[in-house]
Chains A and B, each alone.
Chain A
Amino acid sequence: MAHSAVSTTNSPAIAPISLSALAPWAVFVGILMLVLLYFVGAEQGATAVFEGETIHEWLHDGRHLLGFPCH
């Protein structure tokens, strides 16, 4: 059965990825990606982890064009 999917256009039902396999990845990668989004979108704007304005100024055009509220 596993080898019958070669020439069919109707793909067989795909087994879902079990939640226990997905959960650690969801937590780890989810947090990592949200931190990344924070630095792209809001660091040295609404709040700041690092002092100064360099991050804000470096990402200035991207923030405006991506739709983040900026100064």
Chain B
Amino acid sequence: MTSTSPGGVSPRTLLVRGMLAGLLAGVAAFLVAYLLGESKVDAAIAIEEAAAAGHDHGEEAPVSRALQATAGLGTGVVLYAVALGGIAALVFCFALGRIGRFGPRATAALVTGGLYVTVTLVPFFKYPANPPAVGDPETAARRTALYLLMIALSVLLAAGALILGRRLAPRLGNWNASVVAGAAFALVIGISYAVLPGIDEVPAGFPAALIWDFRLASLAIQTALWTTFGLAFGFLAERALVPTSTPKEAVQPTS
């Protein structure tokens, strides 16, 4: 594909760079997950096995704990980050030049921040991450559906808030319109939090401090992922979009 936009850059270039930045973000998130998260997973599994009830991780497990905590964790986090990087690059392609006079880096930062809030933070505060041993296997499908519903709702409401802000901008000015749109988003998210059913399947006697630590670790992973992505993609996108001062030098074939 060689189709280029009027801006001179094809979405393909930005998508490849988005997935590359996602790869980098995945590596950073994996390091945080391995260093901060794995000890919490292990502690929760120890409690689960001491209780000796429900889902068994130990015996006849198809994947050993050592593999789950290293290669398995790495696969999951890196693929997740690459996929989110591709999606974020698509959003960036749409946002570029459409959300005001922001350069590539600022646009990348705004898009990344917006996605961090809408697809990570908003769903997390309603349906937070849970360690092993928390959660009834019988309700897994319902919990997954509610979690995905919360993400979809958050994305749709954020898009609605964005449109609202654009409509109000001529009357209120950019700053006030953004504040009103942000407040409207917070209000409708608050209403969805109140309306959607809560999930509390923490077994009696499960240490509250462990859940807190696990959720903090999960938040740290997501924060590392999105921050790394935003900075790396901003750098790569700017290099693709802003022509460098030196013109392209002819490639000299070495003989």
A residues adjacent to B (C-beta < 8 A): 5-7, 11, 13-19, 21-22, 25-26, 29-30, 32-34, 36-37, 39-42, 45-47, 52-54, 57-71
Q: Could you say which of A17, A54, A60, A66 contacts B221, with CB atoms under 8 Å apart? A: A66
Cβ contacts under 8 Å, A66 to chain B: 76-77, 80, 129, 218, 221-222
How distant is the Cα of A54 from the Cα of B11 in the complex, in angstroms? 36
Asked if A33 and B83 sit within 8 Å, CB to CB, the answer is: yes
Query: Restricting to B136-164, which residues have a CB under 8 Å from any CB of A?
Result: 137, 140-141, 143-145, 147
- 5 of the cross-chain contacts (CB-CB < 8 Å) are A14-B96, A14-B97, A14-B104, A26-B93, A58-B68
Cβ contacts under 8 Å, A41 to chain B: 80
Q: Could you say which of A54, A61, A69, A70 contacts B37, with CB atoms under 8 Å apart? A: A61
Please tell me if B192 contacts chain A, counting CB pairs below 8 Å. Answer: no
Known contacts A60-B132, A65-B33, A66-B218; 15 additional CB pairs below 8 A are: A14-B103, A14-B241, A17-B6, A17-B11, A22-B94, A26-B94, A29-B90, A34-B87, A60-B63, A62-B72, A66-B77, A67-B120, A69-B130, A70-B130, A71-B135
Q: How far is the CB of B81 from chain A (nearest CB, A)?
A: 9
A5-B243, A66-B129 in contact; A36/B82 too (CB < 8 A)?
yes
A40-B80, A59-B76 in contact; A16/B97 too (CB < 8 A)?
yes
Q: How far is the CB of B40 from chain A (nearest CB, A)?
A: 8
Asked if B131 and A67 sit within 8 Å, CB to CB, the answer is: no
Please tell me if B79 contacts chain A, counting CB pairs below 8 Å. Answer: yes
Interface class of chain B by DSSP: helix
Q: Could you say which of B62, B87, B131 contacts A33, with CB atoms under 8 Å apart? A: B87
A62-B75, A69-B143 in contact; A57/B83 too (CB < 8 A)?
no
A46-B144, A62-B76 in contact; A16/B90 too (CB < 8 A)?
no
Asked if A18 and B6 sit within 8 Å, CB to CB, the answer is: yes
Q: Could you say which of B38, B90, B98, B217 contacts A25, with CB atoms under 8 Å apart? A: B90
Q: Which of A32, A34, A45, A69 has the most CB of B within 10 A?
A: A69
Query: Restricting to B21-74, which residues have a CB under 8 Å from any CB of A?
Result: 33, 37-38, 41, 55, 57, 61-63, 67-69, 71-73
Q: Which of A5, A41, A59, A67 has the most CB of B within 10 A?
A: A67
Cβ contacts under 8 Å, A18 to chain B: 5-6
Residue in A closest to B128 when the chains form the complex, CB atoms:
A67
Asked if A71 and B41 sit within 8 Å, CB to CB, the answer is: no
Residue in A closest to B3 when the chains form the complex, CB atoms:
A21
Cβ contacts under 8 Å, A71 to chain B: 55, 135, 137, 140
Please tell me if B193 contacts chain A, counting CB pairs below 8 Å. Answer: no
Q: Could you say which of B10, B68, B123 contacts A60, with CB atoms under 8 Å apart? A: B68
The 10 A-B residue pairs whose C-beta atoms are closest, nearest first, are A62-B76, A16-B97, A46-B144, A67-B129, A69-B143, A11-B103, A57-B63, A15-B7, A17-B5, A36-B83
Q: How far is the CB of B62 from chain A (nearest CB, A)?
A: 5
